[in-house]
Amino acid sequence: GAGVSQSPRYKVAKRGQDVALRCDPISGHVSLFWYQQALGQGPEFLTYFQNEAQLDKSGLPSDRFFAERPEGSVSTLKIQRTQQEDSAVYLCASSPLTGAYNEQFFGPGTRLTVL
Amino acid sequence: AQSVTQPDIHITVSEGASLELRCNYSYGATPYLFWYVQSPGQGLQLLLKYFSGDTLVQGIKGFEAEFKRSQSSFNLRKPSVHWSDAAEYFCALQRGDSGYALNFGKGTSLLVTP
């Protein structure tokens, strides 16, 4: 069956450009998470959606980062005025329910390189 | 604090040898723990999870992990490693907030030699 998909898989941006990263979760999954994985590090939490509601954005590194999930399915992570420190792999994960005990299913990630 | 430590950045084992990857956690309540594997260019794949009950958890690909509350550990093991097991391994702790997002360790890179 279809898993979590992300696009583009690779993105190169010049410093100062805006980028948009897309996540298509597994159909019907209620919870959606974004993580940032810097080179040689583990993923770090950015933000969490329950359906269309963004319930936690405490992990977003700055106000240049913005995420949305307007219809409770596809989500977009937008980074404005990209900086070199934004270079990382951005992972999206979805989960069928909310609460504990739920497995998160991860997409392949988008590798962002800011020059 | 809710955190995960993976003390070994790199581990090298010979094919056919046994494997143990270490994971220590810090959490004030009963932890929900996971092991994920990440191959180059691939997403994270869940190997196994611990929520409660039996402290020895069986996973996919012949992996198992043992939860030891007294040592705050959740080490991953495999009796005989295959070359295809070479990958990055992440231990993760489910947070009590943020929609139960995951706190990951920094990962252990496994190299398998012939």
Angle (nearest 5°) at CA B22 between B18 and B24: 160
How confident is the model over B48-69, as a mean pLDDT?
Answer: 92
Å between B99 CA and nearest CA of chain A: 6
Confidence (pLDDT) at B97: 76
Q: Are A98 and B99 in contact, with CB atoms under 8 Å apart?
A: yes
Which chain B residues touch A if contact means CB-CB below 8 Å? Answer: 4, 32, 36, 41-46, 49, 51, 90, 92, 94-95, 97-107
Res A9 pLDDT > 70: yes
Q: Which residues of A touch B41 (CB under 8 A)?
A: 108
How confident is the model over A9-37, as a mean pLDDT?
Answer: 97
* Contact status of A100 with chain B (Cβ, < 8 Å): yes
Q: Tens digits of per-residue pLDDT, B41-52?
A: 788 999 999 988
Strand residue runs (E) in chain B:
3-5, 10-14, 19-21, 24-26, 33-38, 44-50, 56-58, 64-68, 73-78, 87-94, 102-104, 108-113
Å between A81 CA and nearest CA of chain B: 26
How far is residue A60 CA from its own chain's centroid? 10
Q: Could B99 and A91 be called an inter-chain contact, meaning their C-beta atoms sit closer than 8 Å?
A: no
Q: Tens digits of per-residue pLDDT, A24-58?
A: 999 999 999 999 999 989 999 999 999 999 999 99
3-state secondary structure chain A: CCCCEEECCEEEECCCCCEEEEEECCCCCCEEEEEEECCCCCCEEEEEEECCEEEECCCCCCCCEEEECCCCCCEEEEECCCCHHHCEEEEEEEECCCCCCCCCEECCCEEEEEC
Q: Is B25 helix (H, G, I), strand (E, B) or coil?
A: strand
Q: Are B88 and B110 in contact, with CB atoms under 8 Å apart?
A: yes
Confidence (pLDDT) at B99: 75
> What does pLDDT average to over chain A?
94
Residue bearing tokens 């360790």: B105
Q: Could B43 and A99 be called an inter-chain contact, meaning their C-beta atoms sit closer than 8 Å?
A: no
Give φ, ψ of A40 to 5 degrees: 75, 10
Å between A33 CA and nearest CA of chain B: 7
Confidence (pLDDT) at A79: 98
Q: What's the CA dihedral at B60, B2, A103, B53 to 10 degrees?
A: 60
Q: Are B50 and B67 in contact, with CB atoms under 8 Å apart?
A: yes
Res A1 pLDDT > 60: no
Confidence of residue A66 (pLDDT cuts 50, 70, 90): very high
Give φ, ψ of B72 to 5 degrees: 50, 45
Q: Which residues of B touch A35 (CB under 8 A)?
A: 101-102
Task: Report the residue of A7, A10, A26, A48 to disrupt the B interface, i.e. the one with the largest count of B CBs within 10 Å.
Answer: A48
Confidence (pLDDT) at A91: 97
Q: Which residue of B has its CA nearest to A109?
A: B43
Distance between CA atoms of B20 and A21, rounded to whole angstroms? Answer: 36
Nearest to B99 among A3, A31, A40 (CB): A31
Per DSSP, B18 falls in state -
Q: What percent of chain B has pLDDT over 90?
A: 78
